[in-house]
Amino acid sequence: MTTSASLSATTSGDSHAARERGGLWLMVAGGAMLGTLGIFLEEAGQSPFMAVWFRCAFGLLALTAWFAATRRWHELRLSGAARVAAVSAGVLAVVNWLLFFEAIERTSIGVATVVVHVQPFLVMAFGAWWWKERVSPAQGIAALAALTGLALASGWLDGALTGAGGSSRYLGGIALALLNSVGYAALTLIALRARSVSPLALAWWQCSVGAVALVWWPLTQGWPAAGPAWAWLAGMGVIHTGFAYMVLYAGVARLSAGRVAALQFVYPATAVAVEWLVYGRALSASQLLGVGAMLVALGVAGAERTRRL
């Protein structure tokens, strides 16, 4: 009986380890896919409003196809507080995407993406403020390191050392990315409170809200000319909103909250690397140092959260 119990425990442990490994690779794949989003935006050559509408419309098609294939329509039927939360999250998500795309146009793919990823620390701060959650010393130090890294990654030090500062357009882009980060923190808090709504159902509602709310833009401003732009725009919806979200959420379901937080570094790291490889736009030494500080801080915060859970 002891041998049987030992074999059962070993099998269970191996199964759990395999599930975690699968979740890790899914998270890495999803983050890597999202890291190419800026390339699609630049190659499409469209305004943020046009890009966001296409992302919502094609994302909606992709997610609807997934719900149809898996026969999980019941997840989309919401009522009461759940529906209010989903619609509110949808409005917030659309505003966030508009801010993010505008920030990319004013700064760069890598800088805007890195600045937005101060969001986990904002969630931690909001949680401590609103819900009186305890912040450990390690988390506090990680947050300070992340803010320092953010200042470096934004190019602030380079401007101060050269006396050039930054153009109003560039600084405006940094401000939009920071505002976007605040919005994503709020969106995360809504998702945490709306636990009765599955993550993919929430994404479907976000795309639905965006597709309806922004359809006036292509109708009044005109559709993109037939050609490659349509493929890039469709890719933003199908790949970066439909497929990437499916992969990411499948990974999230297999991992602890702490490991999920730590793996968020894949997205900004990929965005920085892809921009350098495709366009030859590399960050300065101080900016790379800032990115490194933020990624290490994110890892520390994630590890600390895992330990406390």
What would the pLDDT profile of 258-275 be if each residue is shown by its tens digit?
566 667 778 888 888 888
Task: Kindly tell me if the per-residue pLDDT of 163 is higher than 50.
Answer: no
Residues 6+ apart with CB under 8 A from 273: 35
What value does the mean pLDDT take over residues 110-128? 76
Per-residue CA distances from 284 to 17, 108, 164, 172 (Å) = 39, 13, 15, 20
Q: In the chain, pLDDT over 70 holds for what percent of residues?
A: 77
pLDDT at 164 over 50: no
The mean pLDDT of the chain is 81
Average the pLDDT over 74-85 and give the result.
86
Q: Dihedral (C-alpha) 63, 207, 179, 294: value to the nearest 10 degrees? A: 0
CB 231 within 8 A of CB 278: no
What Cα–Cα distance (Å) separates residue 97 from each residue in 74, 180, 183, 214, 297? 27, 8, 10, 12, 25
Given a contact cutoff of 8 angstroms between Cβ atoms, the answer to whether 218 and 48 are in contact is no
Angle at 185 between CA 254 and CA 115, to 5 degrees: 100
Task: Return phi, psi of residue 139, to 5°.
Answer: -65, -40
Which residues, 6+ apart, have CB-to-CB distance to 165 below 8 Å? 159
